[in-house]
A and B are shown apart, each in its own frame.
Chain A
């Protein structure tokens, strides 16, 4: 096995880099990244936000879904540099002041998760849906999460979890605006 005594000087020969400033979960973050760095790797490895997962490499599974300026995107198909001067929200932002987001509560109450791997992406898609459409029909929910694959649950309880959140948010003190 060939083992290098010293790795080739990486810094100098690294591909092109860029300085980025991204607001992540409300806090400003800046870093120098290779321009090819995917947003999901930036979140997981540079910032240690490992709640966002990676499940495929073809933008199919949605385990990496986050909100970019409020819209759900698959962070494996966004470059970190594309998030420069924009706002990213991940699963870690959902709980506020020790209180779970209604979507998180719904997933627990309705048994909307099993292994938990697709769950953060699924919840971020749900949050994006409920922001746009606070009272979605079952059909609309199923369409909205059709870019998020789950292998464990068969989706029935995920749909219920999102319906739970929808009613909870409507009944909530802020009149359903919180998402």
Chain B
């Protein structure tokens, strides 16, 4: 017997009913009586001393009520705030600005327009300072020290390494073939279509309610309590409907803090909504990794060792959002789908005059950087050896019988079947026929390429022994209450940003409780009502909170079994949970449903039993989960324009047990598009003075429906052995896996011209220049 809306069913989403009617409730839709608007004065310089800030004219602008500067904040000890990586970040500067578009002052007014007028009237006198844009130059001995406030007088924030340095050196030296490549993964921005913002409001009792675009409301409440000194029970964070997140709504931006300060000072609610150019110019960036990788193999094509050195540009402060123990995130998943014997990875975090960040762009902590590097390097090596890249991967994959597999850099992969995924992708795209066609086309002088990426992710952070953020263990939670009529409400510590949690969490509970998913409401995002959790990012919702839902439901079943036994006048041990009912073993028609048990929980309990039917679970995962997949991309390149046309893209994903196939496919489609974006279009660049070169959607190009191909998706299913449902998480797989497939395809199309690598984004101009140099265009 299947339950309506249980696990594995492609049911339609509950949340769509409000979204298609324009009845979502996003932060900018919150309107309170007497609400004021905050707008922000930003620095035109990347590095400058502030001589003076004159607010006199601004205060005379009609509608302007207040102006906040760094000096005001310093008096309340709020000019600086801690970052998640134990560095510190300015809310507003008191003497120096560190990047272009940095917040310099806040203007509070009766309307958006008046606030903007006020911003234009604030006069700031700057004294420009030398700018450090290139992180490699930042490490040179004569570079200006950007953070004189630190004890260590260097622009190197930290050095982090893992693996066997000497063993790797030796293994590379004795390898028959070694290739080395410099890969730059540019600075990009997640650019969710909804920008960031908040509404801050204090009630008469001094309680702050903060409607906020945040993926992690509970952790943010704790951080706010620690930074401001407000008692934690007097802070209520509400994360309403979010218009996308992708990692960009994890950090605490200065605007949030300013809105709270402004609300406190004016005694009125204050709204702050950043505009797109502010979002692109000042919010946390992703990537910006300068990587040098070396990879070795025997002459018959067996991988031997991997060495990776990276310079990580963090901007002026380390405001990355990584688990505390991992300044470079989980970059050491970089051995990927292969059983290397030796590997060594080192990363240097560096300060520059750029906005801070180092957050995800729809990926678990630095996992895209890792997957991109290994999948590029394996491809380069296969070409060097003259082997087909599919055959080369097949020869080197971790064998499917080797799981759980301990990687040389210390991770224990839970499960996998890499050859099956690649084989399926090859069959679906017709790999052999495509190779034949490519050979034909090449004879005719046409440029066609085929690229593969067989990636392994690490998501679902994470086990408390290893994973914390500012000491907060990275568990997550679910609380379920079943009402007398057998309907239920469930609340979670995570926060959907479009993933469809209201639907999928209800499906998990429906399956585990034997109720219809329609009878289960799901709520998240309100810290006054939801149980504590670390939030939604790094594909962790299903691995952590999804597991908590299953365990909480099973706790309810434990109690329910006793109630059912009481109703059936048998011992609890005589019952089994079968076909979504409590059945007397071997007597299927003698059974009680969860609905009957729920009613009894409030009306007819066994003597001595506590009333009610509810449970909560705080789930501490025993391990990370390791989704994987194989992607194959076929491209045609226009010789006249350098334009890359993705002809076909087949994505075979394995995320373990699938809760809702429709939603999983949607996640893959979106992830693939955010993989295509940095491969072909997106990059935030700076000139030598630290001026941003792509501060609006005029220059920072998101893929439209025209550039985006018709993605083809398929699945293999290898459940996680340690997750109660076997699920692994899926939101980010495709963003992690896709870029290497696209670059590998483009390089493959140009390999006969001697091209071994092209840095992303592979814009028409960049590709055309290569073709021109090679005498093809």
Residues of chain A whose beta carbon lies under 8 Å from any beta carbon of chain B = 1-4, 7-10, 13-14, 34, 36-37, 41, 44-45, 48-58, 60-61, 63, 90-92, 94-95, 100, 104, 107-109, 111, 113-120, 123, 138, 141-143, 145-159
Contacts and interface: CB of A to CB of B under 8 A. Distances in A.
Interface stretch (B23-31, B204-212, B616-624, B635-643): B23-31
Interface string B95-116: 0000000000000011011100
Given A149-B697, A154-B669, A55 B65 contact: no
Interface of B: 12-13, 15-24, 26, 28-29, 31, 55, 59-69, 72, 109-110, 112-114, 190-195, 241-244, 246, 261, 265-266, 273, 275-277, 497-500, 662-663, 665-666, 669-674, 696-698, 702, 704-706, 708, 710-711
B666 A153 contact: yes
A1 B69 contact: yes
Contact of A145 (B55, B671, B705): B705
A114 B499 contact: yes
Most buried by B among A34, A53, A95, A154: A154
Q: Which 4 A-B pairs have the closest CB atoms?
A: A51-B22, A117-B243, A115-B498, A116-B19
Contacts of B66: 1-4
A92 B705 contact: no
Contacts of A90: 22
29 contacts: A7-B109, A10-B62, A10-B63, A49-B22, A50-B28, A51-B21, A53-B193, A54-B28, A60-B697, A90-B22, A91-B20, A92-B22, A108-B13, A108-B16, A109-B12, A115-B241, A115-B242, A117-B193, A117-B244, A123-B20, A142-B706, A145-B705, A151-B190, A151-B244, A151-B673, A154-B666, A154-B711, A157-B666, A157-B669
Contact of A151 (B55, B62, B68, B191): B191
B62 A60 contact: no
A153 B662 CA distance: 12
A115 B242 CA distance: 7
A36 B55 CA distance: 24
Contacts of A57: 275-277, 696
Contacts of B113: 34, 36-37
Contacts of A143: 705-706
B16 A95 contact: no
Contacts of B266: 3
B710 A156 contact: yes
Contacts of A117: 24, 26, 192-194, 243-244, 498
B22 A52 contact: yes
B540 to A, nearest CB: 18
B19 A119 contact: yes
A154 B672 contact: yes
Contact of A56 (B64, B696, B711): B696
Given A10-B114, A151-B702, A92 B21 contact: yes
B570 to A, nearest CB: 45
Given A142-B705, A146-B704, A56 B276 contact: yes
Most buried by A among B13, B67, B704: B704
Given A115-B242, A154-B672, A156-B710, 9 more contacts: A44-B29, A56-B276, A63-B193, A94-B21, A108-B16, A111-B663, A118-B193, A142-B705, A158-B705
Most buried by A among B62, B241, B497: B62
Nearest to B56: A2
Nearest to A63: B193
Contacts of A7: 62-65, 109-110
B1 to A, nearest CB: 26
Contacts of A10: 62-63, 110, 114
Contact of B708 (A37, A118, A155): A155
Contacts of A94: 20-21
Given A7-B65, A8-B61, A116 B241 contact: yes
